Structure 1
Amino acid sequence: MTEDRSKSLKALKAAGEKPKQSRVGLTSTGVRKAAAKSNRTRAREFALQALYQHLVGRNDPTDIDHFTRDLAGFHKADALHYDALLHGSIEGAEQLDALIRPLLDRKFEEISPIEHAVMWIGVYEFQNCPDVPWRVVLNECIELAKEFGGTDGHKYVNAVLNGLAPQLRPLEVEADRASGKARA
């Protein structure tokens, strides 16, 4: 720290004022900047938007795909992961719903399409993306539900996916529980 900076800090303290915090990591308005999103996180976001269109509008998956790929920022997404999530979820919808349904406390028609799509993404990744740790899948889905869903939708998504994780990733979940990384 330079001598001048040291003197000015002492003067602020003597006057009873706090020195200004470093603005690194903050926007010009003082709001904390969001961490840079990974290309997989972006793929999940675009897949969620596309799955929402499918669930709500029953639009053709090819049309949805073309539309989504034209959205701003798609070039920053992992296109292969997006493809897998979108097409895998739509093609496997009945099987995904069959896994989700027993953990629901209401009918699918009463669940937000956002939460439904997020659960599809989570279950699809649990089953088909062993390179993504189960806890990462869970956390990413919770974040999607927080960002795009209703006020407490993330809690519902968490409960359902956390309930499915031991069934779909038994060895991984058990290893985390044994090591104390996950609750029993």
Structure 2
Amino acid sequence: MSDNEKKSAAKKKPSLTSQRRNARSYALQALYSWSLAGQPLHELEAQFRIDNDMRDTDVRLFSELLQNVAATKTELDGLFTDFLDRQIEELDPVELNVLRIGAYELSKRMEVPYRVAINESVELAKTFGATDSHRYVNGVLDKLAQRVRMAEIRAKREGKA
């Protein structure tokens, strides 16, 4: 690869998938901070935008996840509580916020395929959670997907999606 090709490759904008993954990562970190400190969301969002280089991030998705997951946390918790093996208060804050992001994407962002929503949450749990939390997150969100995305899952199985 020539020097010009290397420079051109280095300057390429990251893929939309990468930008969205970054947004989910920052949203999880912000939600974690919010759940522990209770700082107002608008201050927390501004702080994250200042403290982090978000050029390679889907900032609109970051903001949407932060604001809407926090605003609908009780509703989101209700979506997956039936699938927990413990009380919601006993969940690790990272696990809980990963589940909330996953539940939000499964229930509110229908343009995101259910497998992507689950996989992205599993990746967050692998990165930020305890050793086997990704398995737990996967199991809970898979059951939730069966409930809220049944038509999409059925179509996928029948080869229509």
> Normalising to structure 1: TM-score of the pair?
0.74
Moved more, 55-64 or 43-52: 55-64
Match of 1:175 in 2: 155
Figure out how many residues of one structure are paired with residues of the other and give that number: 146
Percent identical pairs in the alignment equals 38
Query: Which amino acid in the other structure matches residue 69 of structure 2?
Result: S
Task: Confirm or deny: 8 A CA contact 1:96 1:124 kept in the other structure.
Answer: yes
1:56 aligns with 2:36: yes
Task: Describe how 1:39-54 pairs up with structure 2 within 5 A.
Answer: 39-54=19-34
| C-alpha separation in 2, matches of 1:154 and 1:166 | 18
* Structure 2 counterpart SS, 1:162: helix
Match of 2:53 in 1: 73
| C-alpha separation in 1, matches of 2:40 and 2:75 | 19
Match of 2:80 in 1: 100
Q: Compute the displacement of 1:63 (Å).
A: 1.5
Q: Compute the displacement of 1:136 (Å).
A: 0.6
Match of 1:149 in 2: 129
Query: Which amino acid in the other structure matches residue 164 of structure 1?
Result: L
Match of 2:96 in 1: 116
Q: Compute the displacement of 1:171 (Å).
A: 1.1
- Residues 109-148 of structure 1 deviation map (CA, whole Å, 9 limit, x = unaligned): 2111111111111111112212211101111110000001
Q: Compute the displacement of 1:76 (Å).
A: 1.4
1:159 to 133, 139, 151: 139
| C-alpha separation in 2, matches of 1:110 and 1:85 | 23
| C-alpha separation in 2, matches of 1:73 and 1:138 | 26
Match of 2:110 in 1: 130
Structure with bigger RCO (C-alpha 8 Å, 6+ apart): 2
- Residues 16-42 of structure 1 deviation map (CA, whole Å, 9 limit, x = unaligned): xxxxxxxxxxxxxxxxxxx97611000
Moved more, 132-141 or 58-67: 58-67
**Which runs of no fewer than 5 residues in structure 1 stay unpaired?**
1-34
**Which runs of no fewer than 5 residues in structure 2 stay unpaired?**
1-13
> Normalising to structure 2: TM-score of the pair?
0.85
Moved more, 63-72 or 86-95: 63-72
More helix by share: 2
- Residues 46-101 of structure 1 deviation map (CA, whole Å, 9 limit, x = unaligned): 00001101111122111111111123332211011111111110110110011111
Q: In angstroms, what is the RMSD of aligned CA positions?
A: 1.7
* Structure 2 counterpart SS, 1:130: coil
